[in-house]
C-alpha cells in the first residue's frame, strides 16, 4: 500500500517554525507564524475565553452529538456579530449556514457547496493570497485563477488593475475577497472601494466569496466588516467564511462558520441542506467547545464587553508595533520608505526585501520571516524591536554584522 507513497516537503510556514524552534540562539525573533503574541511573546488565553470556559465546565451536562450545522445559537450570534443584528439579509431570512472546524473548515465547506451548485465555476483569488486558500478551495475540485491585487511599488491595492480584471469575470464564477487584514499583504480595500466592487458584482454577476478571519484586528469589530456588510446588503448571493481563531484567540479549538446568502428563503434552505451534506461527508459534526465559548461570550453582556476591551488592547498593540517598526526603519541606508507598515492592517505586511536579505536575517541575526517577506507584526515586542531594527538596518545597508 505505502511502498510508493512519496515523502512530501513540510508546509513552508510550519517548516519555518520547526527551524525557528531548533535554532539555539536565545535572542532569535519569530515573525513567521501567523498567531498573535503579546509583549512577552506569548499567545495568551483571553480573559473572557477563560471565564466562558470555566462557566461551561460547571454547567455542561452532556457531551452527546451536536447537529451537523453545530449550535444554532452560535450561528445566530456569529451572524449578528458579522453582519450586525439589523442587517437586511438577516431580516429577509436569506442567510443560512453551519458552524465549522475553524475558518479552514468554513472555506472548505463553502467550496464544496459551490462545486455542488456549479462544478465549472472558477474561483478568482487575489495575487497574492493566503497560501492555504489553494489546497482548501482547490481541494474541492474547483479551478482557481488569480486577479491582480497587490502593487509592490505603492505597497497598496492596485485597485484599477483589480477592477479591470474582475470586470471580465463571467457570471457564475466566484471571486474570493478578504474581509479585512489581507493575508499576506496587509493591504485592504477601503469602504469606497468595497462600494465600487459591489457595483461591479451587480453588473457582472459573479458571486463574492468573502473570507473573514481577522474581524476586530484592524480598526474595530464594526469598522472591519463595514465593507462586507455593504456588499452583502446589495448582492443577491454570497458566501461568507468566518474564523474565530484570531479574534477570540482560540486557534486550537477550531471554531468558525460558513454562511450563505441566497436569493430567497427557499433557495437558502436548499443551500443549507447541501452544506450539511458536505459536512456530513467530511467530518460529520464540528467540534463543540470553541463555538460554545464564543457563543457564551457573545451572549453575555459583561463577557462581551470584556472581550471587546481585550481585543481592543490586541489591536492597539499591533498598531503600536507597526508605528514603532516604521519609525525605527526610517533613514535606512537603502532609502526604502517603510511608511506603508503604518498604513497596512492586521498582523501581516510584506517587507519587500530581497530573498538574499531574508536568508541573511535568518542565518546571521536569527530573524525568521517567510520567503515571501511576509512578517507577523505581532512578533515584534518592545524588547526585540531594537535588535530587529538593527538587523534590518544591517541587511538593508548590505553590511556585515
Ligand atoms: C486569510 C485566512 N483565512 C482563514 C484562516 C483560517 O483560520 P483557522 O482555520 O485557523 O480558523 C486564516 C488563518 O490563518 C487566514 O489567515
Distance CA 127, CA 182 (A): 11
Distance CA 70, CA 23 (A): 41
pLDDT tens sequence across 223-272: 999 999 999 999 999 999 999 999 999 999 999 999 999 999 999 999 99
**Are 216 and 224 a contacting pair, CB within 8 Å?**
yes
3-state secondary structure of 169: coil
In the annotation, is 307 catalytic? no
**What are the grid coordinates assigned to 217, written together?**
484586528
Does the C-beta of 109 come closer than 6 Å to ligand 1?
A: no
Does the C-beta of 296 come closer than 6 Å to ligand 1?
A: no
Cell 487575489 -> residue:
126
Q: What pLDDT, on a 0 to 100 scale, did the predictor assign at position 399?
A: 59
Mean per-residue pLDDT for 182-201?
97
Note the CATH number of domain 12-45+313-397: 3.90.1150.10
**Residue 333: CB partners within 8 Å, gap ≥ 6?**
393, 396, 397, 398, 399
Q: Where in the chain is the domain with CATH 3.90.1150.10?
A: 12-45+313-397
Q: What pLDDT, on a 0 to 100 scale, did the predictor assign at position 15?
A: 86
Does the C-beta of 53 come closer than 6 Å to ligand 1?
A: no
Specify the residue with its C-alpha closest to ligand 1, atom 12: 213
Establish whether the linkage from the previous residue to 33 is cis, with ω within 30° of 0.
no
Specify the residue with its C-alpha closest to ligand 1, atom 14: 34
Distance of CA 97 from the midpoint of ligand 1 (Å): 18
pLDDT tens sequence across 138-186: 999 999 999 999 999 999 999 999 999 999 999 999 999 999 999 999 9
**What are the grid coordinates assigned to 358, written together?**
531574508
The catalytic residue among 158, 173, 224, 246 is 246
In ligand 1, the atom with minimum distance to the C-alpha of 34 is 14
Distance CA 44, CA 161 (A): 40
**Are 142 and 114 a contacting pair, CB within 8 Å?**
yes
In degrees rounded to 5, what are phi and psi of residue 304? -60, -45
The catalytic residue among 71, 124, 130, 188 is 130
Handedness of CA 339, 343, 349, 350 (dihedral sign): negative
Specify the residue with its C-alpha closest to ligand 1, atom 2: 213
Distance of CA 213 from the midpoint of ligand 1 (Å): 5
The catalytic residue among 71, 173, 211, 306 is 211
Distance CA 297, CA 241 (A): 20
pLDDT tens sequence across 36-63: 999 999 999 999 999 999 999 999 999 9
pTM recorded for the entire structure:
0.96
Distance CA 225, CA 111 (A): 22
Which DSSP letter does residue 67 get? P
Q: Where in the chain is the domain with CATH 3.40.640.10?
A: 65-299
**Residue 33: CB partners within 8 Å, gap ≥ 6?**
13, 14, 16, 17, 376
Note the CATH number of domain 65-299: 3.40.640.10
Residue 400 has pLDDT above 70, yes or no: no
Amino acid at each position: 500500500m505505502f511502498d510508493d507513497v512519496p515523502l512530501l516537503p513540510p508546509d513552508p510556514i510550519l517548516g519555518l517554525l520547526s527551524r525557528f524552534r531548533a535554532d539555539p540562539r536565545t535572542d532569535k525573533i519569530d515573525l513567521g507564524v501567523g498567531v498573535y503574541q503579546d509583549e512577552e511573546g506569548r499567545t495568551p488565553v483571553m480573559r473572557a475565553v477563560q471565564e466562558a470556559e470555566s462557566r461551561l465546565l460547571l454547567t455542561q451536562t452532556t457531551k452527546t452529538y451536536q447537529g451537523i450545522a453545530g449550535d444554532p445559537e452560535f450561528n445566530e450570534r456569529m451572524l449578528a456579530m458579522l453582519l450586525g443584528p439589523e442587517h437586511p439579509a438577516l431580516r429577509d431570512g436569506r442567510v443560512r449556514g453551519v458552524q465549522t472546524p475553524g475558518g479552514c473548515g468554513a472555506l472548505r465547506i463553502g467550496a464544496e457547496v459551490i462545486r455542488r451548485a456549479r462544478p465549472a465555476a472558477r474561483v478568482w483569488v487575489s495575487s497574492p493570497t493566503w497560501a492555504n486558500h489553494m489546497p482548501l478551495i482547490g481541494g474541492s475540485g474547483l479551478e482557481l485563477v488569480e486577479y491582480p491585487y497587490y502593487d509592490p511599488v505603492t505597497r497598496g491595492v492596485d485597485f484599477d488593475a483589480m477592477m479591470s480584471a474582475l470586470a471580465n469575470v463571467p457570471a457564475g464564477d466566484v471571486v474570493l475577497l478578504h474581509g479585512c487584514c489581507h493575508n499576506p499583504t496587509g493591504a485592504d480595500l477601503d469602504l469606497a472601494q468595497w462600494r465600487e466592487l459591489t457595483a461591479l458584482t451587480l453588473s457582472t454577476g459573479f458571486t463574492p466569496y468573502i473570507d473573514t478571519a481577522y474581524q476586530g484586528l484592524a480598526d474595530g469589530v464594526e469598522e472591519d466588516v463595514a465593507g462586507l456588510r455593504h456588499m452583502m446588503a446589495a448582492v443577491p448571493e454570497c458566501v461568507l467564511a468566518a474564523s474565530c481563531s484570531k479574534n477570540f484567540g482560540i486557534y486550537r479549538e477550531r471554531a468558525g462558520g460558513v454562511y450563505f446568502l441566497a436569493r430567497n428563503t427557499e433557495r437558502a434552505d436548499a443551500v443549507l441542506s447541501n452544506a450539511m451534506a458536505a459536512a456530513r461527508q467530511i467530518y460529520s459534526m464540528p467540534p463543540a467547545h470553541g463555538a460554545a465559548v464564543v457563543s457564551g461570550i457573545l451572549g453575555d453582556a459583561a463577557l462581551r464587553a470584556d472581550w471587546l476591551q481585550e481585543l481592543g488592547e490586541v489591536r492597539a498593540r499591533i498598531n503600536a508595533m507597526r508605528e514603532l517598526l516604521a519609525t525605527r526603519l526610517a533613514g535606512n541606508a537603502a532609502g526604502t520608505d517603510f511608511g506603508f507598515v503604518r498604513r497596512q492592517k492586521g498582523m501581516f505586511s510584506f517587507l519587500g526585501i530581497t530573498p538574499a536579505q531574508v536568508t541573511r536575517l535568518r542565518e546571521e541575526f536569527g530573524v525568521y520571516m517567510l520567503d515571501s517577506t511576509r512578517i507577523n507584526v505581532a512578533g515584534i515586542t518592545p524588547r526585540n524591536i531594537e535588535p530587529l531594527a538593527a538587523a534590518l538596518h544591517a541587511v538593508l545597508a548590505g553590511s556585515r554584522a
